[in-house]
Amino acid sequence: MTSVHNFGVLPVTCHTWNKNRSELALSLSGTEVKIYAKDGSGWKETQTLTEHAQRVTGIDWAPNSNRIVTCGADRNAYVWTFSDGKWKPTLVILRINRAATFVKWSPQENKFAVGSGARVVSVCYFDKDNDWWVSKHIKKPIRSTVTSLDWHPNNILLACGSTDFKCRVFSGYLKEVESKPSANHWGTKFNFGNLLAEFSTGGGGWVHSVSFSASGDKLAWVGHDSSVAVVNGADGLKLSFVKTEFLPFMGCSWVSENSLVCVGYDCNPMVYSYADNGRLTFVSKLDIPKEKEGGTVSAMKRFQDLDKKAAVDDSSTDLKTLHKNTILQVTVHSGTKADATKVSTSAVDGNIIIWDFKSLERSISGLKI
């Protein structure tokens, strides 16, 4: 069943879950990261992480090692470990001169990547000899702010979206922490920072979010020009994209090998399907508003509103969706990208909503995840 959780009036700019979904970390458009624990049907704040000096822009919670990584506009990143009942920070040496914008743990949790306004991606790993987190930079040919990142399941390839309208795939191979990878659909030369692929839909939209599928064969991204794009690595890097009729998207995530959920300014998660022939099609909105009784506003009600407020109640200006403002992020809540049963979305309205696909399938015709 779909559930709505409110955390105040400030925007929830980013959120992440622990392994069993009993705890939640989020940023409310400020310098702090709030940790919440499940408390019945609601949430109880347990700790506030206050190390950042400027706005927090990214959070990711490693499920197995139980470490949280955060980044912010103060050009810093911190790795938080839970010890003696408290979350304790360790500073990461990012070596950037602009704001950090996004952070993501790798699947094996032995490194993470940080995007920034400095036109670089910092791939960070733990240096045991010096007992700190250090980074290596991926620079060329990124020409503008990095907005989003996602790791391939093989722990090596790194997808990067940026405001130069391009989606790229780089090698994030670090000989310091892992063995050399074998060739795959995306390329054969895996020296650190090597550009393996670069894609564009030909439009002028910033790439806001990127997502590898569970198999790693497909890469999806969404742009500010209201486009949704998928590249199939198993089909010769074939590009499929659609310019939608909706407002721009801000986030996307695969929920099965051939289905993805996109969110953005329409305040309503959208499901898209990718067919074997490369066709990308819109399936359904997840949030289907309930119609008013009778379907229309009666003439008497209009006269009453005119008498009371000197105006007719025009319901067309009211948002009927559960989210009342732009959705900024979507992430898998239950299951994996191969077989997600629930996703969570966070928005400018201060809400986090958990969407249950199983209950939605019964009410939305044609929705098959």
The per-residue pLDDT for range 134-177, each reduced to its tens digit, is 999 999 999 999 999 999 999 999 999 999 999 999 999 999 99
Query: Which pLDDT value is given to residue 143?
Result: 95
Q: Are residues 342 and 304 in the same domain?
A: no
Q: Are residues 47 and 180 in the same domain?
A: yes
Residue 79: C-alpha distances to residues 26, 62, 86, 149 (Å): 15, 10, 13, 18
Q: Report if residue 174 sits inside a domain.
A: yes
Facing residues of 37 across strands? 23, 44
Could you read off the pLDDT of 10-39 as tens digits, one per residue?
Answer: 999 999 999 999 999 999 999 999 999 999
- Where residue 104 sits, what CATH number does that domain have? 2.130.10.10
**C-alpha angle 295/301/306, rounded to 5°?**
130
Strands 270-274 and 280-285, how do they pair? antiparallel
CA atoms of 162 and 277, how far apart (whole Å) = 28
Nearest to 101 by CA among 137, 149, 141: 149
Q: Are residues 165 and 238 in the same domain?
A: yes
Q: Are residues 122 and 191 in the same domain?
A: yes
Q: Are residues 215 and 310 in the same domain?
A: no
Q: Are residues 75 and 217 in the same domain?
A: yes
Q: Are residues 229 and 317 in the same domain?
A: no
Contacts of residue 164, Cβ cutoff 8 Å, sequence gap at least 6? 142, 143, 144
Question: What residue ranges in 144-269 does DSSP mark as E strands?
Answer: 146-151, 157-162, 167-171, 195-199, 207-212, 218-223, 227-232, 238-243, 249-256, 259-264
Q: Are residues 240 and 356 in the same domain?
A: yes
Indicate the pTM of the whole model.
Answer: 0.91
Query: Model confidence at 359, in pLDDT bands (50, 70, 90)?
Result: confident
CA atoms of 259 and 293, how far apart (whole Å) = 34
Is the Cβ–Cβ distance between 56 and 31 less than 8 Å? Answer: yes
Q: Report if residue 198 sits inside a domain.
A: yes
Q: Are residues 94 and 155 in the same domain?
A: yes
Query: Model confidence at 1, in pLDDT bands (50, 70, 90)?
Result: confident
- What range defines the domain where residue 28 resides? 3-293+327-363
The yes-or-no verdict on residue 69 having pLDDT over 70 is yes
Q: Report if residue 368 sits inside a domain.
A: no
Is the Cβ–Cβ distance between 216 and 153 less than 8 Å? Answer: yes
Mean pLDDT of 271-287: 94
State how many domains the chain has: 2
The values of phi and psi at residue 327, to 5°, are -85, 125
Q: Are residues 280 and 298 in the same domain?
A: no
Q: Are residues 80 and 26 in the same domain?
A: yes
Q: Report if residue 217 sits inside a domain.
A: yes
Mean pLDDT of 99-120: 98
Q: Report if residue 341 sits inside a domain.
A: yes
Q: Are residues 208 and 298 in the same domain?
A: no
Q: Report if residue 357 sits inside a domain.
A: yes
Query: Which pLDDT value is given to residue 292?
Result: 46
**C-alpha of 94 from chain center:** 22
- Helix (H/G/I), strand (E/B), else coil: 299: helix
